[in-house]
Chain A
Amino acid sequence: MKSKVVSLKEAIQEIQNGDCIFFGGIVEDRRPIAAVCEMIRQQKKNLVLLGTCSIPGDLLAGGQCLGAYRGCYTSNGAFGISPNIKRLSESGKIVIDDIGHLDLSLGLLAAMAGAPFIATKTCLGTDVLNPEYDNLSKARAIARDARTLPDKKYQLMEDPFYDMGLVQLYPAIQCDVCVCHVQQVGEEGTVRIDGSLTFDHYAVHAAKKVIVTAEQVVPEEYLRRDPNRNQIPCTSVDMIVEVPWGGHPGQVYNFYDMDIPFLKEYAQGCVTEEGFNQWADKWIFDAKDHEGYLERLGATRLEKLRSIPPYGYKPRRQGGI
């Protein structure tokens, strides 16, 4: 099989304005931050983000790349509500369509199985199903191809099989591009993830195009010695980029821990639009590329974050931050 290894710039050039995109990882864990910084450098517009927001989604929002967000989490975890998303939401400048966490899992499961929809009782009784808050049609109007998003948010019906009463029929999730940041990928695309798989092992099957950025590109043969330890098959990956520290300031299990001071600085600095722009100038535009970003951080800072065995993180009691 032909090598799929490309540069980060080349990979991100494949993303079109108005694409529906999905990011691997969750909260601070295995988020494709370097890839998102490059999306901002390339000034993508009107993207529709599906899934969980946190840092990468918040960066896209601040970088004016995001038109709509459909998902279940607009928080940066312990560091507060995602500041750019919060500011844009509170000034009515971004379309948000809230769905549930299990909705997301089941929608991706349906996609993985090739099923058009799936039935569940989740979200019954809640405002997730409130027709007044249904912003799906607004998200469809922003998407490059409206057909990537479903015609309808959900459909209620009585369970015809096991008498479970009312259930929600929930449509399969589809997206144009899925970007995952992982620990290891082979040259042909086989992926090995450590720690939580989050949604990555489902989401790649819901995407037309899959970009994998990895801490290490390793010989394909190495990963094929133990295929049970791999979570994404080579056949589901289109492009591969080696991006060491590509999840900073988040964590990558077995590689490095969260950069808590950096995350706090982001949370405080990006409350205002001006603050985000300053942050972006420093870390995205002036830094020029991911190598420039790492140079700014410096080896001393990064070394403090390095995970140690057997934990997969850097224990605070051993000098972690």
Chain B
Amino acid sequence: MADKYAKIGDYTAAEAMVINAARFLKNFDCQKGLIGTGLPLVATQLAKLLYSPNMIIFVETGQADAKPEELPISIMDSRLTYGSSWQMGDPEGLFPLSRGEIDFGFIGGAQIDKYGNVNSTFIGGDYNKPAKRLAGTAGAVDIGVFAKTTVTLMAHQKRRVVEKVDYLTTPGWMVKKWPSGEMVRREEMGMQGGPNAFISTLGIMKYDEDSRIMYVDKIFPGVTPDDIKNSTGFDIDVSRASENEQLLLEEIKILREKIDPLNVYGMR
């Protein structure tokens, strides 16, 4: 049975992230998710084949129970329309969120902080002259405010996993109270939900129930606690970490052959 497991080097870091995310989505079978563009969509498609066949996918451009036959490459790819239960527009795509019907949101981003706040707007410099302008809010704000919980997917690098995000796009556990901008617990703002996990190229991070600070819950095979500490911009707790199960050859095969045969997402 040993040959059912993949060896380090049989897959890329992006593939490990996506496959581990698909496994994590087992927790959301039979639930309604609002899925963001990019790799979250890939992980969702893989999860539906392997681990959570009854997961229901909503997309912010107005599909209910989307069942794409081919991997969509954007948040409004025609591939999302065909096979959906319902195709309306962006308002109707987002209103299930603001009605409180969405069980989980699944998004990417450019930066995440220790409270799970995510930045997808700009990095470095000033808002009016940033070092790097990004995509902006899109649905990321609304998912963070209204979904019952959120999962974030992002490469694990020191400049991405930081003490404090340059711009708070998706609200995590500690958020800004205006007009002063002081950081307060999201509950204080009457906001439900909050982040559930951050899945990276190195492991799975959860949030402490009391402090709401990110800690390492699972480490991917071939990765050490020090690798994670060295790739994180704050002093992250690795004391509770255990090793995740090695990837299955079958998972890699399905990802490559069934989900993204043309390598549209450049994962390999």
The answer, among B63, B91, B128, B141, for a CB contact under 8 Å with A126, is: B141
* B139 close to A196 (CB less than 8 A): no
- The stretch among B2-10, B184-192, B225-233 that forms the contact with chain A is B184-192
Q: Which residues on A sit within 8 Å (CB–CB) of B137?
A: 72-73, 98-101, 126, 128
Binary contact readout A151-167 vs B (1 if CB under 8 angstroms, 0 otherwise): 00000100000001110
Residue B28 is within 8 A (CB to CB) of chain A in the complex:
no
- The stretch among B13-21, B43-51, B148-156, B173-181 that forms the contact with chain A is B173-181
* B176 close to A101 (CB less than 8 A): no
Residue B130 is within 8 A (CB to CB) of chain A in the complex:
yes
Residue B82 is within 8 A (CB to CB) of chain A in the complex:
yes
The answer, among B89, B127, B132, B141, for a CB contact under 8 Å with A200, is: B89
**Bound: A102/B140 CA distance, A:** 10
* B128 close to A100 (CB less than 8 A): no
Residue A294 is within 8 A (CB to CB) of chain B in the complex:
no
If A100-B137, A166-B190, A196-B62 touch, whether A125 touches B74 (CB-CB below 8 Å) is no
- The stretch among B164-172, B195-203, B209-217, B248-256 that forms the contact with chain A is B164-172
The answer, among A29, A78, A99, A102, for a CB contact under 8 Å with B97, is: A102
**Bound: A73/B140 CA distance, A:** 10
Q: Which residues on B sit within 8 Å (CB–CB) of A121?
A: 98, 145-146, 190-191
* A166 close to B189 (CB less than 8 A): yes
Binary contact readout A188-200 vs B (1 if CB under 8 angstroms, 0 otherwise): 0000001111111
CB distance from A243 to the nearest CB of B (A): 19
* B82 close to A312 (CB less than 8 A): yes
**Bound: A228/B35 CA distance, A:** 29
* B90 close to A198 (CB less than 8 A): yes
* A127 close to B136 (CB less than 8 A): no
The interface centre, meaning the residue of A73, A164, A196, A197 with most chain B CB atoms within 10 A of its CB, is A196
Q: Which residues on B sit within 8 Å (CB–CB) of A91?
A: 129
Binary contact readout B228-253 vs A (1 if CB under 8 angstroms, 0 otherwise): 00000000000000000000000000
* B176 close to A125 (CB less than 8 A): yes
* A98 close to B121 (CB less than 8 A): yes
The interface centre, meaning the residue of A91, A121, A124, A165 with most chain B CB atoms within 10 A of its CB, is A124
Q: Which residues of chain B in 111-134 are interfacial with respect to chain A, using CB atoms and an 8 Å cutoff?
A: 121-122, 125, 127-134
Q: Which residues on A sit within 8 Å (CB–CB) of B186?
A: 125
Chain A positions near chain B (C-beta within 8 angstroms) = 25-29, 71-75, 77-78, 81, 85-86, 89-92, 96, 98-102, 104-106, 108-109, 120-133, 135, 156, 164-166, 194-202, 251, 253, 257-258, 307, 310-313, 315-317
**What would 11 more interface pairs be, CB under 8 Å, given A127-B169, A166-B190, A197-B87?**
A28-B76, A73-B136, A78-B74, A96-B133, A121-B98, A124-B189, A194-B81, A196-B61, A196-B62, A251-B77, A311-B82
* 4 closest A-B pairs by CB: A165-B190, A125-B175, A197-B89, A77-B74
